Structure 1
Amino acid sequence: MNDIPNSIEARDRAYQLHPLVDLRKHETTGSLVIDRGEGVYVFDIEGKRYFEGLAGLWSVAVGFGEKRLAEVAKAQMEKLPYYHIFSHKTHGPSVELAEKLIQMAPVPMSKVHFTSSGSEANDLVVKLCWYRSNALGRPDKKKIIGRVKGYHGVTIAAGSITGLARNHASFDLPLDRMRHTNCPDYGSAALPGESEAAFSKRMADDLEKLILEEGPDTVAAFFGEPVMASGGVYVPPENYWQEIQRVLKKYDILLVADEVITGFGRTGNMFGCQTYGIKPDVMVISKQMASSYMPIAGILMSEDFYAPIADESSRLGVFGHGYTASGHPVATAVALENLKIIEERDLLGNCRARSPGFIAHLDELSRHERVKTWRGVGLLGALELHPTGEPGEAGAAMAAAALEEGVIARAVGDAFCLCPPLIITEAEIDEMFAAVGRALDRLG
């Protein structure tokens, strides 16, 4: 390794394994090195400025370089840099954040448990569903239903609920207890003349058919994002969540709302559940909770979900689960301050105010010859490109062209996805979409 050049790019290629890349290709192409951030922008080590059109990874609500979060982190580091919540121990920041989240929840919730990532959180919910079924004397009620193109993380259980082939291939996933129902992509999957409401009813009928085929007494839970973001930004059609909840209630199946991306203002409400009338048994949260300034996630659970778990732990004498960093004092302190900023600066109001312009730009660009359609809600959207060559080729070309124009975004297949920080201004939206338009023109 002594012949490796000293540049950070070369050392990165030599020593670090990156997610979501062709690893052999990466050994040649290397990485874009981001050096600093400010507001809605990040800068590479050469000083070039980029509009962060995906808010990092769907997550930096308050923008980059927020000094209040840095100051809180420093103060907590100096006071209590680490402690755990094992064996009847606790500390102030984790208690205060848990209390705040219970107060914010869109439906009555009983307890919060913190993790370090959304993947961990979803994985834990699966464990708890199984634990709860055993506690209730239902040892066969263990299957979990996700959706095609749904995304819930990459750990073994969460990756199995995820409905994307790239997260399954050669990992021996999904686990055999996991099933998948259809993606509610009205734009591509609707029958000729089928209304959104009729399409939603058909999606619910498909779910019910799957439940009956598997056996209702074997299905524990259904996992769903209010808006399917990482799979390509699929906004639920009219009555979709009402129809899905009707079926789940009929067969006593738990509803887990994955709010990792939609939570804390992304759709214009504090939670996507409020936007779509979802009443979950469990909510999974992360990303915008701390604007990803610290790695933190969590689950909120109803009393009906929690009580059998508590009873089972009493029978066994211990709840045999825990993470070293669960409720980390610095992470929980930063998250609490981040939520204060979201409320004090009315970033939900800003999302609602900026959303019409954001959506109008998506609609306008959908008329470009390269664009097939658009999808969006709040400050979350996608342009679906006409395919060219292999699946995903058009999306990858668009993401590369946008990068040349100074916009960092995400291609998911042939969907070009945007999710800017919630602090964005009208002028910044115009600037971002002007660059996206130039990127489309680059494609020819």
Structure 2
Amino acid sequence: MMGTPNSAEARDVAYHLHGYTNAVRHEEVGPLVIDRGEGIYVYDTTGKRYIEAMAGLWSVALGFSEKRLVRAAAAQMEKLPYYHTFSHKSHGPVIDLAERLAKLAPVPMSKVFFTNSGSEAIDTALKLIWYRSNALGQPERKKIIVRNRAYHGVTIAASCLTSLPGNHRSFDLIVPGVLRMTCPHHWREAAPGESEEDFATRLAEELESTIVAEGPETIAAFFGEPVMGAGGVVVPPRTYWEKVQAVLRKYDILLVADEVICGFGRTGNLFGSQTFGIRPDIMVMSKQLSSSYLPASALMINEKIYAPIREQSGEIGTLGHGFTGGGHPVPAAVALETLNIIEERQIVTHAAAVGERLQAGLRELQAHPLVGEARGVGLIAAIELVTNKETKEGLEQPGQLGALANAKLQEAGVISRNMGDALAFCPPLIITETQVDELLAGLRKGLDNTLAALPAQSVRA
């Protein structure tokens, strides 16, 4: 599999430590080396073509060969290849991008702060929230509420807000006062016979009881993804966000919408906050902001957040936070061109329409012996794999069935990602209806091949 000693695969194993990878297993099997991309497809070094059904890492909105983004990067590299935004400095692309994002925001936002990744943006949101609490003379207001199975990043602080065991084991968690609520996954977490609305009510009551028990004066913010991504593409139950926000308003707790995956068209609206009626105080964004052609991320804060920070920085003499590459002119130029293309080609409207075809096709697959649930919204979705539909169980080891199916799917020419026993689908927003059908056909083939690889007695449809 790894080829000759001097092959790319062998050199990768020799010198490259991969994130989200079993290092022991990687030495045995080596990498799939991707050589080039075209539209929604990528090609490995043997020339085999794959549908990139995860858009890389939930992120390549405009596909893998958008020449306008390449030209935007090259033009900016020629004009101003780098500058920063520290100590009263700025440049054209970051000014234009800040203005553009603030005007696109679904609720009034005051300022935009630029970072390099979603994790950095989450860390920044956390730091600014704590800074604000101190500025308001409320130093005890530092606790953060998240949900089980949430994903908010992997930097030291962001990883503490993430609620996935693999992100915590053997890493020390240094942020105190992180409170974890029930994951809003109706199929997995609801009581027998509990409707989506009743489940949402129970989760809102859990939230309120936790706030009261901890002391509202100690809780700073609630962080939430409109649709939970790496936790398995969890779409919230009906009325969930309405009821959660009512509780947060009652106790004056800030709401941070993690739009890193959902933003810029993924859910069928420009932002996931619009899809679910969320009115956040802070919005965090990355990934599709630049179609991931270059690293770019940002967070928007409203006046409620900005005003105390402004005053505190005046008293101290500086806002002592920032990144060398935050607001870098080249990614900013690429992000601006990405937003131009999304608007000109009506990508959000297209994603909503094509997303309906993907969701309908996945729902049809619920009849497959291995599919327990199909779920999603817009062009983000997942199927939950089981060997027993009645008990909702997979194989003996959690994630074993998902890993097998993911491998079979890749053999069939579709790159997905299994999160436990869920297979996720998040293709580039430019995918066509014909290509959706091709993706679904590849998925069915992968599922059939997975079923054929299992002992017959292990599956109970």
| TM tier, smaller | over 0.9
Are 1:431 and 2:438 matched, yes or no?
A: yes
Other-structure match for 2:396: 389
Q: CA deviation at 1:174?
A: 5.9
Q: Cα deviations across residues 214-239 of structure 1 (Å, max 9, x unaligned)?
A: 11111100000000011100001110
Structure 1 residue 175: Cα displacement: 2.5
Measure the CA separation in 2 of the matches of 1:420 and 1:322.
Answer: 32
Distance 1:347 1:174 in 2: 41
1:162 deviates by 0.6
Specify the alignment match of 2:212 in structure 1: 212
Counterpart residue number, 1:345: 345
Given residue 126 of structure 1, which amino acid in structure 2 is its aligned partner?
A: L
CA distance in 2, matches of 1:372, 1:270: 30
Return the match for 1:417 from 417, 421, 424. 424
Distance 1:172 1:152 in 2: 16
TM-fit CA distance, 1:388? 1.1
SS at match of 1:395: helix
Q: Which residue of 2 aligns with 1:374?
A: 374
Instruction: Specify the alignment match of 1:187 in structure 2.
Output: 187
| C-alpha distance in 1 between matches for 2:57 and 2:447 | 22
CA distance in 1, matches of 2:57, 2:189: 28
Structure 2 residue aligned with 1:263: 263
- Offset, 1:371: 0.8
Amino acid at match of 1:323: F
Q: Distance in 2 between matches of 1:361 and 1:388?
A: 25
Give secondary structure in 2 for the equivalent of 1:75.
helix
User: CA RMSD of the aligned region, Å?
Assistant: 0.9
Q: Tell me if the contact between 1:110 and 1:303 (Cα under 8 Å) persists in the aligned partners.
A: yes
Counterpart code for 2:229? A
Q: Which amino acid aligns with 2:117?
A: S
Which string of whole-angstrom CA distances, capped at 9 and with x for unpartnered residues, describes residues 250-279 of structure 1? 111100000000000001100000000000
Gapped runs of 5+ residues in structure 1?
Answer: none
Equivalence map 1:145-294=2 (5 Å): 145-173=145-173, 175-294=175-294
Letter paired with 2:173: L
Alpha-carbon offset, residue 27 of structure 1: 1.7
CA–CA distance in structure 2, aligned partners of residues 242 and 157 of structure 1: 28
Matched, 1:121 2:128: no
Task: Tell me, in whole angstroms, the C-alpha distance in 2 between the residues paired with 1:398 and 1:212.
Answer: 44
- Structure 1 CA distance, aligned partners of 2:22 and 2:153? 19
Matched, 1:11 2:18: no
Q: CA deviation at 1:192?
A: 2.1
**Residue aligning to 2:57:** 57
Q: Could you give the per-residue CA deviations for residues 343-374 of structure 1, whole angstroms, max 9, x where no partner exists?
A: 11111111121122111111111110011111
Q: Secondary structure at the match of 2:367?
A: coil
Cα distance in 2 for partners of 1:30, 1:335 equals 34
Q: Measure the CA separation in 2 of the matches of 1:71 and 1:188.
A: 46
CA separation in 2, counterparts of 1:132 and 1:76? 35
Same amino acid, percent of matched pairs: 58
Who is 1:91 aligned against? 91
User: What residue is the counterpart of 2:47 in the other structure?
Assistant: 47
2:140: which partner in 1?
140
- How many angstroms apart in 2 are the aligned matches of 1:443 and 1:334? 40
User: 1:103-157 deviations in whole A, cap 9, x for unaligned?
Assistant: 1000000000111100000011111111000000000000111110010000111
Runs of 4+ in 1 over 3 A off after TM superposition: none
Alpha-carbon distance between aligned partners in 1 of 2:210 and 2:173, rounded to the nearest angstrom: 19
Letter of the structure 1 residue corresponding to residue 99 of structure 2? E
- Which is worse superposed, 50-59 or 169-178? 169-178
Query: Are 1:159 and 1:174, in contact at CA under 8 Å, matched by a contact in 2?
Result: no
- Output one character per residue of 1:359-405: Cα deviation in whole Å (capped at 9) or x when no partner: 11111111100111111100110000001120000111111000000
| Corresponding position of 1:295 | 295
Question: Where does 1:301-320 land on structure 2 (aligned, <5 Å)?
Answer: 301-320=301-320
| DSSP 3-state at the match of 1:437 | helix
Matched with 1:354 is 354
How far apart, in 1, do the equivalents of 2:29 and 2:207 lie?
Answer: 43
- Name the SS of the counterpart of 1:35 in structure 2: strand
Residue aligned with 1:443, SS: helix
Greater CA deviation, 173-182 or 412-421? Answer: 173-182
TM-score (norm 2): 0.95
Determine the structure 1 residue equivalent to 2:412.
Answer: 405
Distance 1:217 1:30 in 2: 51
C-alpha separation between the residues in 2 aligned to 1:279 and 1:300?
A: 12
Deviation per CA, 1:173-193: give whole Å up to 9, x if none: 262221211100111111222
Which amino acid in 2 is paired with 1:408? I
Deviations 1:19-43, CA, capped at 9 Å, x for gaps: 1111121122111000110000000
Q: How many positions carry a matched residue from both structures?
A: 441
**What is aligned with 1:111?**
111
Conserved 8 A contact 1:168-1:174:
no
